[in-house]
Amino acid sequence: MGNRGHLSATARIRAYATIRRRRILFPVKSCLVRCKPTSHSSSFGTWRKGPAEAKRWSTIKTTLPRLPPHSERKTTTTGRLTLRPLQNDSHDLAALHALRTDEKVMRWSPRGRVDANLKETYVHDLEFLADPSLNSEHLAYAICLKSNGEFIGYGGLSCRPEFVGWPAVSFVIKSDLWGQGYATEFLEGFVDMWRRLPRKLAVIRVLVNTVYGDSEIKDECLAGNPTYDNVACHRVLEKSGFEKREEFDEYNHRRKKKERRHGWVMKKSNAHFLEEQLSALQITGCN
């Protein structure tokens, strides 16, 4: 990929993972390690914490999902859909490539153009599945029709703290099936799955308007960050119970321009996590 003059998806994720391990997020079991607030990296570029932005960020204690290894990820169903972990195989590659060569779909992608060939699709969406260390920050699901197993889209979660700082969800549906409620159904099923993932305690930096909760450990959020003009995506997030909390401009290096994005978040109460901690403490205390 080096001859293209930019990093491959894998290289970006790997570079990101190093940055993140070093200074952004330190998940812990029993103690918290504070990180140095610095610049905020994303695949779209780097946010420098400038004077105007300084007030907008807050470093908080919260919970984050602990993603299971790929082999242990579960399939789930909704009324019409089967959501199954994306597979690094020729079937899923062909289905992803069909989606990623549809101009109507790719108009909304960060790159803004269709994939040139199968390799580009593989590098963008499947290569990371082959590397457990890269895969550990992504939960990628195929969206299939329950009736006949047809692959109609994909979506998932990236735990990289892009845009508003929280892990973010994204989703794509085949364009000939738009407007039939499939993305909304996917998102509701996916959020349910997200809520039930095991949790870890973490210190992260998020936009102030996305901080909820009165206790020391703030409520965890899941974000969606569409560009301002992606009306269908805004509507899906709204219908699924997300709240619009932020608007911000982000430089997109692939399109070489600034883009206005909206930050939507779905809140997860930390009550369950706190109960688990309390119960663990009581057991220790009794012994």
Could you list the residues that contact ligand COA (CB under 6 A)?
105, 108, 170-173, 178-184, 226, 230-233, 235-236
Report, in Å, the least distance between residue 185 CB and ligand COA. 7
Helix%, strand%, coil% for the chain, nearest 5: 35, 30, 35
Measured CA angle at 45 (ends 40, 49), to 5 deg: 35
Q: Report the C-alpha gap between 260 and 249 in whole angstroms.
A: 4
Q: Report the C-alpha gap between 105 and 114 in whole angstroms.
A: 8
Report, in Å, the least distance between residue 225 CB and ligand COA. 8
Q: Decide whether 172 or 204 has the Cβ nearer to ligand COA.
A: 172
- 81, containing H or E segment: strand 81-85
CB 16 within 8 A of CB 193: no
Report, in Å, the least distance between residue 114 CB and ligand COA. 12
158, β-bridge pairs: 138, 168
Report, in Å, the least distance between residue 72 CB and ligand COA. 26
Report, in Å, the least distance between residue 236 CB and ligand COA. 5
Q: Decide whether 64 or 183 has the Cβ nearer to ligand COA.
A: 183
Q: Decide whether 201 or 236 has the Cβ nearer to ligand COA.
A: 236
CB 254 within 8 A of CB 110: yes
